[in-house]
Amino acid sequence: MIWDIICNGYGILSTFMFNFPVDGKIIVHLTFNRLKFTVMKIQLAKSNPFYKSILLFFSVLCLLSCLKDDGFPQTETTTQGKKWNLEIGSSPLEVFGQLQELGTEKNIDRVSILYRLPYSNPEQIQSDIALYDAITIETTSGILERTVFQIDHNKVSAIEKGGGMLEPIQNWPEDLPSDASIYINDPVEVLMEKLTAIYQLPLYQNYQLVLPGKSLAKPYDPDMVNYDEWFFTFSENISSSVDGRNSVRLFFKNEKLVKIKNEYEEFEFVN
């Protein structure tokens, strides 16, 4: 006896087929629509104690394969003209200004600078720290320990310390004399001077410094011209139960915006 089940759909599987040959073995052919050339064959003797369970498992897969694909994520690439107000051919400075305008409309507060590595000491930082809203110093081995200095109005506005969870503190390092430790309300210039001195101490020489994504609320950082990929996201309400999310990469070449790649997804939620 031969029994074939074929299910063509738009879900996880584009083709699912059971073959029950006369010799009593199950041969299962799976073709995944996102891995078009992947074929898996499973042979199982009918006498195997898990025969019925495996048959049920693949029957469920068959049903899932017939489910309609929602068509997401959707990817759009722009290499000419505009996407929103972002214009191909613009300089990094111009794009940053365009992002500030777009941020007001789409509620975007920052742009990530991709492939910017942590700094091993303060002298490596080319950016003006006052153009950022925070800087983090953290360990490079073992258990993560970090201290985050929040920056507002060109001074340290808050200090938090911890690993995964951060707790507010008044100064860091807490065991140094007051003239060497960094305090809330220290100007940015004093923050950097103290960090430079702290890095001379053997205990802190293996720490690294990390800048966050670039806040759109502060002016452009000229050092951003040295990075060819930026990234930002924003969400939009589509309906009472659906949100849409845009994940956007900006590609630069020779200091000009050459490509915008947007990946759009939708998510259902329960109110």
CA dihedral 211, 216, 220, 226 (to 10 degrees): 50
pLDDT of residue 72: 76
Residue written as token pair 């891995």:
35
Spatial contact of 76 and 60, defined as CB atoms under 8 Å apart:
no
User: What pTM was estimated for this model as a whole?
Assistant: 0.72
pLDDT of residue 141: 82
Cβ neighbours of residue 237 closer than 8 Å, sequence gap 6 or more: 243, 244
State how far the Cα of 246 lies from the Cα of 106, in Å rounded to an integer: 10
Question: Beta strands 155-162 and 166-169: pairing type?
Answer: antiparallel
pLDDT of residue 142: 78
Residue 21 pLDDT more than 60?
A: no
Residue written as token pair 């006052």:
130
Question: Beta strands 25-32 and 82-83: pairing type?
Answer: unpaired
Report which DSSP code applies to 89. Answer: T
Higher-pLDDT residue of 78 and 164 is 78
State how far the Cα of 98 lies from the Cα of 194, in Å rounded to an integer: 36
pLDDT of residue 1: 34
Q: What is the mean pLDDT of the chain?
A: 82
Question: How is 101-117 classified by DSSP, letter by letter?
Answer: HHHHHHT--EEEETTPP
Q: What is the pLDDT of residues 104-154, one digit of tens each?
A: 999 999 999 999 999 999 999 999 999 999 999 999 887 889 999 999 999
Residue 2 pLDDT more than 50?
A: no
Q: What is the largest CA-CA distance in the chain?
A: 88
Amino acid identity, residue 114?
L
Q: What is the pLDDT of residues 196-248, one digit of tens each?
A: 999 999 989 889 999 999 999 999 999 999 999 999 999 988 888 888 999 99
Taking the chain, what is the end-to-end CA distance rounded to the nearest angstrom? 52
Number of H helices, E strands in the chain: 3, 19
